[in-house]
């Protein structure tokens, strides 16, 4: 991977200029399994640059009054899951600004894990760190470890291209390539040099069927993908992602640019993919998270706050902060 130039703007979840409500105490040492509650640990020495946000924060009132330093709450049930992806003490800086603070979590196999939280909480950053798309942005520094099936993602001798082939990614906005529907779906096979027509056709059909798009497009596979509607395009992108048989499917607010009907279909699709695919999904939509995910992670200001089964998080969160967010009191 050469130093890449893409003048991609930082994702919308990038931290604000000076996070006004950022209490330095909010950074707490995360642990994989929930430690005894209230066992507050000393915040680790932060890398340079956060002192400014500390300085600013002293003058700004707290929106969330009870945002006291608390360790992340990670539910017991998660300990028994078989994790495809392990994230350990992951920190990330955009230049001098830290966007993720010691995030530690696992993504269980065959389940849908939703990342929720207010804008700028770092959930998209976390998602994009998994397949190292953030590498493309200038001035990004990371610390910590991520492992896909026990294999490090950020080690020096990792071939990023190989790594990305093992993950599929679906973006906020549907982004089909300006080519035919067929070529879009088999793109990942094409770049691996697959030429056998039969294999390509088979993968295309299977992927489109999995993405619940086959019946709608089977007669016009050679047409431009851009002729599809927004919802169809997004399902096409999902089909493109699963055509590569990824070990994990990363979805970055896959429905945010879609109308309610298309959103519903995508949600149905996610539900149907559950079991076969491991999905890590960022969403702004509470209902969507509650409807389609198995586990929910609540993030706030770059910290993992609470991580547990969706039903628990949404009906009976352990932390007040989570409850406030879910009930719409802030966020």
Partner 1 sequence: MNVNPQPKKHRHSHGTRPGVRLADTTAKTLITLGGIGTIVAVCGVLVFLLWVVMPLFGGASIDSQASNSTGPKDILPAYLAMDDPQQLGLYLTSAGQAGLFRLAANAPALSQSLASAPVASTSPATAPGPTPTITAAAACGQNDAVAVGYQNGAIRLGRVTVVSQLLGPDAPDASPLEARNLPVGQSIAADAALWDRLTDEKWQRRTLKVEMDDPLETGSDQPVVLLDYLQQSSGHLVAALTADGQVVVESVRQQRNMMTGKTTQRVTRANLPTHAHVQGKPIFLGVFGLGDGLVLAWEDGSLLRYDIRDLQKPALVETVDLLADPQARLTALHFVLGRNSLVAGDSKGQLSVWFRTKPPQATTSDGATFVLTRTLPGRTHAVTAIASSYRRRLVAVGYADGHLDLIHVTSGKVLASLDVGADQPVTALAMAPKDDGILALSASGWRQWRIDVGYPEVTFNSIFSPVWYEGYNQPVHVWQSSAATDDFEPKLGLIPLVFGSLKATLYAMLIATPLALLAAIYTSEFLHPRVKARVKPTIELMASLPSVVLGFLAGLVIAPFVENVIPSVLLGLFTVPLVFLAGAIVWHLLPYRLTLRLDSQRLWFLLLLLPLGLVSAYLLGPWMELWLFAGDLHHWLDGQIGSPAGGWVLLLMPLTALLTVMLVTRWIDPWLREHSSAWTRARAARVNALRFVCGCCLTVLLALSGAYLLTLLGWDPRGPWTLAGIDLAPMQTYVQRNALIVGFAMGFAVIPIIYTIADDALSAVPDHLRSASLGAGATPWQTAVRVIIPTAMSGLFSAVMVGLGRAVGETMIVLMAAGNTPVLKANIFEGFRTLSANIATEMPEAVRNSTHYRTLFMTALVLFILTFIINTLAEAVRLRFRKRAFQL
Tell whether residue 169 is a contact of partner 1 (CB under 8 A): yes
Q: Which of 36, 38, 150, 193 binds partner 1 (CB under 8 A)?
A: 193
Place of tokens 């539900």: 271
CA distance 270 to 294: 11
Residue 1 or 311 with smaller CB distance to partner 1:
1
Stretch of 16-24, 133-141, 262-270, 275-283 contacting partner 1, by CB under 8 A: 133-141
The nearest distance, CB 6 to partner 1, in angstroms, is 6
CB closer to partner 1 out of 13 and 306: 13
Q: Please, what is the minimum distance in Å from the beta carbon of residue 165 to partner 1?
A: 3
Pick from 89, 147, 165, 274: which binds partner 1 (CB under 8 A)? 165
Query: Residue 198 interacts with partner 1 (CB under 8 A)?
Result: no
**Residue of 103, 237, 289, 313 interacting with partner 1 (CB under 8 A):** 237
Residue span 51-70 as binding mask against partner 1, x where in contact by CB under 8 A, dash where not: ----------x---------
CA angle 62-63-69, nearest 5°?
60
256 contributes a contact to partner 1 by CB under 8 A:
no
The least distance separating partner 1 from the CB of residue 136, rounded to whole angstroms, comes to 7
How many residues at the interface with partner 1, by CB under 8 A? 43
| List of E strands, 18-57 | none
DSSP 199-246: HHHHHHHHHHHHTT-HHHHGGGTTSBGGGS-HHHHHHHHHHHHHHT--
Binding residue (CB under 8 A) for partner 1 from 23, 71, 117, 168: 168
User: Tokens 């995360």 — which residue?
Assistant: 30
Select 50 or 129, whichever has its Cβ closest to partner 1: 129
Residues with Cβ within 8 Å of residue 159, at least 6 apart in sequence: none
With tokens 């707290």, the residue in question is 62
CB of 31 to partner 1, least distance (A): 31
Give the alpha-carbon dihedral of 285, 18, 137, 104, to 10 degrees: -60
3-state helix, strand, coil in the chain (%, to 5): 35, 20, 45
Report the run of H or E that residue 271 belongs to, with start and end.
helix 260-273
152 interacts with partner 1 by CB under 8 A: no
Q: Which two tokens stand for residue 249?
A: 């499917």
Q: Which is nearer to partner 1, 157 or 219 (CB)?
A: 157
Strand order across the beta sheet in which 97-108 lies:
97-108, 83-94, 140-148, 151-152
Residue with tokens 């950020």: 154
Phi, psi of 234 (to 5 degrees): -70, -40
Of 189 and 319, the one with the shorter C-beta distance to partner 1 is 189
User: Binding segment for partner 1 among 78-86, 89-97, 161-169, 294-302 (CB under 8 A)?
Assistant: 161-169
Give the DSSP letter of residue 256: T
Choice between 82 and 192, CB closer to partner 1: 192
Q: Which of 7, 45, 58, 261 binds partner 1 (CB under 8 A)?
A: 7
Residue 64: closest CA among 102, 114, 20, 100 = 20
Strand duo 97-108 + 83-94: pairing: antiparallel
138 touching partner 1, by CB under 8 A: yes
Among 56, 152, 224, 256, binds partner 1 (CB under 8 A): 224
Residue 125 per-residue DSSP state: H
- Residues contributing to the site for partner 1 (CB under 8 A): 1-8, 61, 131, 133, 136, 138, 156-157, 161-169, 171, 173, 175, 177-179, 187-188, 190-193, 195, 224, 226, 237, 240-241, 244
């Amino acid at each position: 991977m050469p130093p890449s130039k893409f003048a991609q703007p930082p994702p919308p979840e990038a931290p604000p200029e000076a996070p006004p409500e950022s209490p330095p105490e909010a950074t707490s040492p995360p642990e994989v399994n929930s430690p005894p509650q209230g066992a507050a640990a000393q915040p680790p020495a932060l890398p340079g640059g956060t002192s400014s946000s500390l300085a600013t924060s002293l003058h700004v009132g707290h929106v969330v009054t009870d945002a006291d330093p608390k360790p992340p709450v990670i539910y017991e049930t998660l300990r028994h899951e078989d994790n495809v992806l392990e994230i350990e003490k992951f920190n990330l800086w955009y230049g001098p600004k830290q966007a993720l603070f010691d995030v530690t979590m696992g993504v269980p196999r065959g389940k849908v894990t939703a990342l929720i939280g207010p804008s700028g909480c770092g959930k998209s950053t976390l998602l994009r760190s998994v397949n190292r798309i953030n590498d493309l942005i200038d001035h990004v520094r990371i610390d910590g470890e991520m492992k896909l099936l026990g294999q490090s993602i950020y080690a020096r001798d990792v071939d990023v291209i190989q790594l990305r082939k093992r993950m599929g990614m679906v973006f906020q906005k549907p982004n089909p390539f300006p080519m035919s529907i067929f070529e879009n779906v088999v793109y990942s096979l094409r770049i691996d040099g697959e030429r056998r027509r039969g294999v390509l056709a088979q993968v295309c059909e299977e992927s489109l069927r999995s993405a619940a798009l086959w019946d709608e497009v089977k007669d016009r596979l050679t047409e431009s993908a851009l002729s599809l509607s927004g919802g169809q395009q997004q399902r096409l992108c999902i089909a493109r992602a699963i055509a590569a048989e990824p070990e994990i499917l990363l979805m970055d607010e896959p429905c945010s640019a879609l109308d309610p009907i298309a959103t519903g279909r995508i949600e149905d699709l996610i539900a149907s993919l559950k079991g076969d695919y491991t999905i890590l999904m960022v969403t702004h939509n509470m209902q969507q998270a509650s409807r389609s995910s198995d586990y929910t992670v609540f993030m706030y200001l770059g910290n993992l706050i609470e991580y547990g089964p969706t039903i628990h998080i949404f009906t009976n969160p352990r932390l007040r902060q989570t409850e406030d967010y879910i009930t719409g009191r802030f966020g």
